Amino acid sequence: MSKNDDHFLNMFSIVLGVLMAIAIGIFILARSVGIPFENNKAQADSMVEAHVAERLAPVGQVAVAGKDNSALTVSAKSAEPGPAMAGLPIPANGEATYKAVCSACHGAGVAGAPKVGDHSAWAARIAQGKSTLYEHALKGFQGKAGVMPMKGGRSDLPDALIKETIDYMVKSSQ
């Protein structure tokens, strides 16, 4: 063999050895990184199973006449207001309620709502009497000119506060 062939063979062996060392290093690194992943995968699988079981849980229970149904009591969580009203503060008085809730429609005349302060729009309604106004505000009303949702869409407000708000709106519109 010539000197050039020996040199090529030595260099080829060195390059091949370095490549083999890199491959072994990558293999060891992959194994050491992959082992914790297997533990996380098992933990993630158990979390997924828990979420699936929660979503598949029955939404209600059936009470059977003549059986012990004491386990079917209503929890305090299910008696809370819905998410649309959760966290919304209840205004202090009629004026605050008008500004927080009622002005959305009665301030701009949305959906046929009479604007507060518009004497002609309120005259016919005031003539019907406060009991009618209270009933329409508390129970909701659909007339020829528009719609009044029950309690202005805030079913969490007490009836007395709704009546106080009606009094404020009528006083401002006479």
Distances (CA, A) of 29 to 23, 36, 41, 77, 156: 10, 12, 19, 50, 60
Q: Which residue, 78, 76, 90, is CA-closest to 155?
A: 90
Question: For residue 67, is pLDDT > 80?
Answer: no
- Name which residue leads in pLDDT, 72 or 123: 123
pLDDT of residue 82: 46
Q: What is the mean pLDDT of residues 54-66?
A: 75
Q: What is the mean pLDDT of residues 17-29?
A: 95
pLDDT of residue 12: 95
Question: For residue 172, is pLDDT > 60?
Answer: yes
pLDDT of residue 25: 96
- Name which residue leads in pLDDT, 169 or 111: 169
Q: What is the mean pLDDT of residues 130-145?
A: 86
Question: For residue 140, is pLDDT > 80?
Answer: yes
pTM of the model: 0.51
Per-residue pLDDT tens over the stretch 144-167: 777 888 888 888 888 999 999 999
Model confidence band, residue 26 (pLDDT cutoffs 50, 70, 90): very high
Exposure string (b/e) for 146-163, b if CB count within 10 Å is 16 or more? eebeebbebeebeeebbb
- The four Cα atoms 102, 106, 109, 115 give a dihedral, to 10 degrees, of 180
CA pair distance 68, 103, nearest whole angstrom = 50
CA pair distance 18, 115, nearest whole angstrom = 85
Crossing angle of helices 159-173 and 119-127, rounded to 10°: 130
Across 12-16, 141-145, 152-156, least confident range: 141-145
Per-residue pLDDT tens over the stretch 68-106: 766 665 544 444 444 445 557 888 898 888 888 888 888
